Amino acid sequence: MERIPVFKPLIRQAEINAAVAALEMGWLGMGRYVGDFEAAVRQFIGVEDRFTVALSTGHAALHLALILAGVSRGDEVITPAFNNIADFQAIRAVGAEPVFCDIDEVTLCIDLARAAELISPRTKAMIVMDYDCVLCDHDAAQELAHARGIRLVHDAAHSFGGKYKGRTIGSFSDICMFSFDPVKTITCIDGGMLVVRSAEEAERLHEMRLIGMGQPVSVMYENRRAWTYDVRGPGFRYHMANLHAAIGLQQLASLQTISENRQKLGRRYNDALSRLPQVVVPATDFTDITPFLYYIRVPAEERDALRAHLTDKGIDTGIHWQPGHWFSYFKDCRRGDLSVTDRVGHQILSLPLHSDMCDELQVRVIEGVVSYFRS
């Protein structure tokens, strides 16, 4: 019986050919493909007045986003406690402290009323994250950040390719971050990106991603490098490599098909599993959404047994995530009431979702869940 993994990257001949071409080109580091990938994502987002900067990972993107936002030692950054560890570690990496906020019961994204209560004189920024296939209330988040004078980092690792009120994700945020890691909707094997509003911010990112070197991108994107330059500030080795960008370009070219497939799979899961009274499905009809994950919520006392039942049927499941304050490294962080997060952390379960998942595999997953609750 074929084991069904939670994630499965879509790597076809086009990606393999692109990787071979990048290797054969002989310029392995940052070069032409990186410039092309940034331009392609910018065109996809469809805004002239934003700048896309490709980075090595989503985590690196978050780290640099917080530096751009002016967050430093002693500051606080509000984040949903129900978020990826990359966000918490990025906050600590700039010497700041995460402040854990609860999530909304329906969207599983940050509860903005509670976030407002957590803002202190030390708050420099807030991270809002789209959890999987349901988006955060971005208008309200922007209003809050604007009113309280804090920067807003939009973690769109899960929502690349989607739209919020008709606007493409990446086109409207203060600072927007994408991840193209191995399991994301589109992958560069590993990769990240920031979308920023000004040429000045983009230029700072260009320097910071290259250990501070003031290399002009116009030179780098011709597969060349300058040998003399200034170093004006801190830097990290966070650039994207040509090989990764070449793969990302192929993935981006297939995004429409990937989105349609994932939407269809999400709708079928929702339709079948919402019939089970014990299961809560994501609150979306998948219009304008490219789901990265498919999750359900089940009674906490059933989750382990359901996972074991599915494992017996060759079906893998995942847990996205354990909340931040459950980890010993973050247990002392300031927080508000986290009762929704605590409840959801025990109920959440990710089911397999692949861009090219065939009907037969999805039916096996659905029947696996249904057979647990109907037996």
Ligand X SMILES: Cc1ncc(COP(=O)(O)O)c(C=O)c1O
User: What is the residue type of 319?
Assistant: I
List Cα–Cα distances, 73 to 92, 97, 209, 348, 371, in angstroms. Answer: 9, 8, 20, 34, 52
Residue 158 contacts ligand X per CB under 6 A: yes
Question: Taking the complex as a whole, how short is the minimal distance between the CB of residue 272 and ligand X, in angstroms?
Answer: 25
Burial readout 97-121 (b: 16 or more C-beta within 10 A, e: otherwise): bbbbbbbbeebbbbbbebbeebbee
CA 213 to chain centroid, in Å, comes to: 28
Residue 114 contacts ligand X per CB under 6 A: no
**For residues 172 and 164, is the Cβ–Cβ distance under 8 A?**
yes
Binding window for ligand X (CB under 6 A); candidates: 80-88, 236-244, 301-309, 367-375: 80-88
What six digits make up the tokens of 171? 């086109």
Q: Alpha-carbon torsion 207, 59, 16, 258, what sign? A: negative
The nearer residue to ligand X, 97 or 181, going by C-beta atoms, is 181
Selected from 128, 129, 265, 369, the binder of ligand X by CB under 6 A is: 129
What six digits make up the tokens of 215? 């290399």
Residue 98 contacts ligand X per CB under 6 A: no
Question: Taking the complex as a whole, how short is the minimal distance between the CB of residue 50 and ligand X, in angstroms?
Answer: 20
Question: Taking the complex as a whole, how short is the minimal distance between the CB of residue 62 and ligand X, in angstroms?
Answer: 6
Residue 192 contacts ligand X per CB under 6 A: yes
Burial class (CB in 10 A: 0-12, 13-18, 19+), 328: exposed
Selected from 86, 126, 141, 144, the binder of ligand X by CB under 6 A is: 86
The nearer residue to ligand X, 136 or 369, going by C-beta atoms, is 136
Distance CA 130, CA 180 (A): 15
Question: Taking the complex as a whole, how short is the minimal distance between the CB of residue 234 and ligand X, in angstroms?
Answer: 20
Residue 155 contacts ligand X per CB under 6 A: yes
Size of the site for ligand X (CB under 6 A): 13
Selected from 157, 205, 243, 348, the binder of ligand X by CB under 6 A is: 157
Residue 340 contacts ligand X per CB under 6 A: no
Question: Taking the complex as a whole, how short is the minimal distance between the CB of residue 291 and ligand X, in angstroms?
Answer: 13
Site string for ligand X, 262-291 (x = CB under 6 A): ------------------------------
Question: Which CB contacts under 8 angstroms, 24+ apart, belong to 86-92?
Answer: 86/57, 86/58, 86/59, 86/62, 86/179, 87/62, 87/127, 87/129, 87/155, 88/324, 88/327, 88/330, 89/59, 90/59, 90/62, 90/63, 90/65, 90/66, 91/66, 91/127
The nearer residue to ligand X, 348 or 369, going by C-beta atoms, is 348
**For residues 235 and 207, is the Cβ–Cβ distance under 8 A?**
yes
Binding window for ligand X (CB under 6 A); candidates: 6-14, 152-160, 204-212, 244-252: 152-160
Q: Is 233 helix (H, G, I), strand (E, B) or coil?
A: coil
**For residues 59 and 86, is the Cβ–Cβ distance under 8 A?**
yes
Residue 250 contacts ligand X per CB under 6 A: no
Residue 179 contacts ligand X per CB under 6 A: yes
Residue 317 contacts ligand X per CB under 6 A: no
Binding window for ligand X (CB under 6 A); candidates: 10-18, 103-111, 154-162, 261-269: 154-162
Question: Taking the complex as a whole, how short is the minimal distance between the CB of residue 36 and ligand X, in angstroms?
Answer: 20
Selected from 97, 137, 181, 356, the binder of ligand X by CB under 6 A is: 181
Residue 324 contacts ligand X per CB under 6 A: no
Please list every residue from 21 through 60 that binds ligand X, using CB under 6 A. Answer: 57-59
Whose tokens are 């349901």? That residue is 134
Q: Report the interface residues with ligand X, using CB under 6 A.
A: 57-59, 84, 86-87, 129, 155, 157-158, 179, 181, 192
